[in-house]
């Protein structure tokens, strides 16, 4: 029986409460709240400079907020340091950025396997086997280096790398920003399938109306808060 039939809703994979953060003289977050469940996708839109990427950095523990908590699968990343934070990041969160951020001189397989070897799944043969399976599933061709890949193949490799440690949460920052319309549609479809197929949460930052429209919820970052938004006004305002 599913959770929607009976019991309480599961704990969110991401729970941000009362987040406050300022940079220079600008207040980026003013009591910001966000909760994302397993199996749910959330698109975040907002004007350039409103703080969308900074919000993802806060979830990764790359910046320390001035107040509030950021819980990922229950652990408050604002309280974690060093090895504990690195472990949470590599085991629990997968990231996909605008340009993939792959190591250009390595093959797609090495890029994905490396993420496995750097985390809990330290067994080399197993890491490479799982990496190849994922790349095959995502239809990434074999190549000597990632520089040989098309834009879409590059981003599919980045998605494979994000998935290799079976994360509970995926963060994507303009994942289709460098792609043509056809590749954008295919990468967006792939990303939005993940919460349903793998029961992870997905937080995706985008300026693209068509991409945002595929999320379960669309929120707009505005005046330091996340507010529910209709897609067109969210992206264009
Ligand atoms: N390390 C930093 N030092 C100083 N200012 C910063 C730093 N990081 C971000 N900022 C500022 O914080 C604001 C928010 O930046 P952020 O990149 O989060 O915006 P964004 O909404 O993702 O923008 P875009 O849509 O253009 O990518 C900007 O005004 C930026 O200049």
Closest residue CA from atom 13 of ligand 1: 49
Q: How confident is the model at residue 232 (pLDDT cuts 50, 70, 90)?
A: low
Collapsed DSSP state (helix, strand, coil) of residue 56: helix
Q: What is the pLDDT of residues 40-53, one digit of tens each?
A: 999 999 999 999 99
What distance in angstroms lies between residue 102's CA and the mean position of ligand 1's atoms? 22
- Taking the domains of the chain in order of start, what are their residue ranges? 14-236
Find the 87 Cα to ligand 1 centroid distance in Å. Answer: 26
Q: What is the pLDDT of residues 161-217, one digit of tens each?
A: 999 998 999 999 999 998 899 889 989 999 999 999 999 999 999 999 999 999 999
> Which residue puts its alpha carbon closest to atom 4 of ligand 1?
23
pLDDT tens digits, residue range 117-175? 888 656 888 899 999 999 998 899 999 999 999 998 999 999 999 999 989 999 999 99
Question: In this predicted structure, what is the pLDDT of residue 120?
Answer: 65
For residue 194, the CA-to-ligand 1 centroid distance in Å is 28
Task: Report yes or no: 107 and 145 within 8 Å, Cβ to Cβ.
Answer: yes
pLDDT, position 119: 81
Atom of ligand 1 nearest to the CA of 221: 21
Average pLDDT score over residue span 1-16: 67
> Ligand 1: residues within 6 Å at CB?
23-24, 26, 28, 46, 48-54
CA angle (79, 191, 38) in 5-degree steps: 50
Residue whose CA is closest, atom 31 of ligand 1? 49
Dist CA 209 CA 220 (whole Å): 12
Q: What is the pLDDT of residues 11-32, one digit of tens each?
A: 799 999 999 999 988 999 999 9
Query: Is the pLDDT reported for residue 73 higher than 90?
Result: yes
Report which protein residue has its CA nearest ligand 1's atom 30: 49
The ipTM (two decimal places) reads 0.94
Specify whether domain 14-236 bears CATH 3.40.50.2000. Answer: no
């Amino acid at each position: 029986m599913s959770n929607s039939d009976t019991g309480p809703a599961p704990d969110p994979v991401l729970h941000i409460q009362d987040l406050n953060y300022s940079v220079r003289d600008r207040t980026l977050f003013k009591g910001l709240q966000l909760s994302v469940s397993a199996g749910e996708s959330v698109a975040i839109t907002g004007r350039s400079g409103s703080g969308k990427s900074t919000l993802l950095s806060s979830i990764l523990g790359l910046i320390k907020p001035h107040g509030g908590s950021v819980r990922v699968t229950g652990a408050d990343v604002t309280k974690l340091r060093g090895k504990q934070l690195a472990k949470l990041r590599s085991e629990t969160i997968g990231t996909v950025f605008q340009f993939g951020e792959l190591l250009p001189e390595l093959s797609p397989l090495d890029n994905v396997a490396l993420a496995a070897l750097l985390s809990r799944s330290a067994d080399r043969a197993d890491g490479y086997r799982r990496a190849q399976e994922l790349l095959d599933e995502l239809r990434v061709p074999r190549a000597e280096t990632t520089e040989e890949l098309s834009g879409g193949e590059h981003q599919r490799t980045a998605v494979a790398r994000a998935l290799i440690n079976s994360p509970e949460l995926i963060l994507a920052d303009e994942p289709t920003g460098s792609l043509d319309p056809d590749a954008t549609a295919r990468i967006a479809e792939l990303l939005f399938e993940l919460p349903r197929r793998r029961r992870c949460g997905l937080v995706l930052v985008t300026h693209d109306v068509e991409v945002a429209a595929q999320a379960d919820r669309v929120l707009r970052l505005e005046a330091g808060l996340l507010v529910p938004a209709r897609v067109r006004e969210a992206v264009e305002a």
